[in-house]
Amino acid sequence: MKAPINPLKQMLADGSPAIGTFVSMPSPQLVQVMSVAGFDWLTIDMEHGPIGPESMHAMINATAVSHTVPLVRVPATDPWMVKKALDAGALGVFFPLVVSAEQARSAVSAMRYPPTGTRGFAPFYAPSRWRQSTFDYAAAADDNLLTIVLIEQAEAVRNIDEILAVDGIDVAFIAPFDLSQSLGIPGEFDNPKFLDAVATAENAILASPAALGGLAMDVEKGRAMVDRGYTLLMMAYDGLIIEAASRDLIDGMKG
């Protein structure tokens, strides 16, 4: 059987904008609906959402109705958490709070089988999710998975060059909410201190082999970010998307 291909990894390699969002609700049904809507990728958020391993597994499987690529944000860069996401069939992992080259190397290692990494071998669910034999999946996994580090701390911006020097980072994703909090100016996205930090991170990422990722809260900002070189684009998040659509319906009827 043919080796699995990660279409999201190919889009990023081609420089094509890949549109996705985060799902924090433990709902396979919601993932199924959002997959059919046409997102290039969806990230199952185990860091801030009330999602356990069983729900995560079911949510990954719910993307099978479409070409949407399932990713997972783990709560921490602990290898055992990464293992569960990959063994359930995720094609990439978001690593939160990466502030050093050491943490970046640990993330890359957790994503790869020996001899280049430390991922344990489990021939159960990931191969069947991608309709592969066990060893076909294992042979292609290292080249198909996406290692995504979140740049969300002032320390990460200070150490951005050494983080990006680690071989195997596919995407560096600037997280504005946590970054502004870390800078002591929560939510002040027009503050020069915040803008300088973002520009420093953007310039370093664009000069590196890693793709540039980030959050856009609306289409106008998303288009501006694409113009600046962002390719992994997170559009809002599940709760906000549902709330905005609901408000439009209600305001349209009552207005």
Task: Note the Cα 248 to chain centre separation in Å.
Answer: 28
Catalytic residue chosen out of the listed positions 1, 10, 36, 48? 48
Residue ranges in the chain modelled with pLDDT below 50: 1
pLDDT digits (tens, 9 = 90+) for 20-37: 999 999 999 999 999 999
Count CB neighbours of 127 within 10 A.
21
The pLDDT of residue 2 is 56
**H-assigned helices in 38-153:** 53-62, 79-87, 101-110, 125-129, 134-144
Residue 98 lies in a domain: yes
- How far is 143 from 19, CA to CA, in rounded Å? 21
Produce one character per residue of 10-41: b if its CB has 16 or more CB atoms within 10 Å, e if not. Answer: ebbeeeebbbbbbbbbbbbebbbebbeeebbb
Residues 6 or more apart whose CB falls under 8 angstroms from that of 121 comprise: 113, 138
pLDDT digits (tens, 9 = 90+) for 118-140: 999 987 899 999 999 999 999 99
Residue 228 lies in a domain: yes
Residue 59 lies in a domain: yes
From the list 88, 72, 90, the residue with the least C-alpha distance to 22 is: 72
The pLDDT of residue 152 is 98
Count CB neighbours of 50 within 10 A.
10
The pLDDT of residue 1 is 44
Residue 173 lies in a domain: no
Which CATH number does the domain housing residue 240 bear?
3.20.20.60
The pLDDT of residue 210 is 98
The C-alpha angle with vertex 23 and arms to 223 and 4, in degrees rounded to 5, equals 85
Residue 186 lies in a domain: no
Residue 89 lies in a domain: yes
Residue 65 lies in a domain: yes
The pLDDT of residue 4 is 59
Residue 13 lies in a domain: yes
- How far is 215 from 209, CA to CA, in rounded Å? 20
Q: What is the CA radius of gyration of the chain?
A: 18
Q: Which residue segment(s) compose the domain that 237 sits in?
A: 7-151+213-254
48 assigned to active site:
yes
Tell me how far apart the terminal alpha carbons of the chain are, to the nearest angstrom: 56
Instruction: Give pTM, 2 decimals.
Output: 0.95
Question: If you ran DSSP here, which 8-state letter would residue 118 be given?
Answer: -
Please state the domain count of the chain: 1
The pLDDT of residue 122 is 85
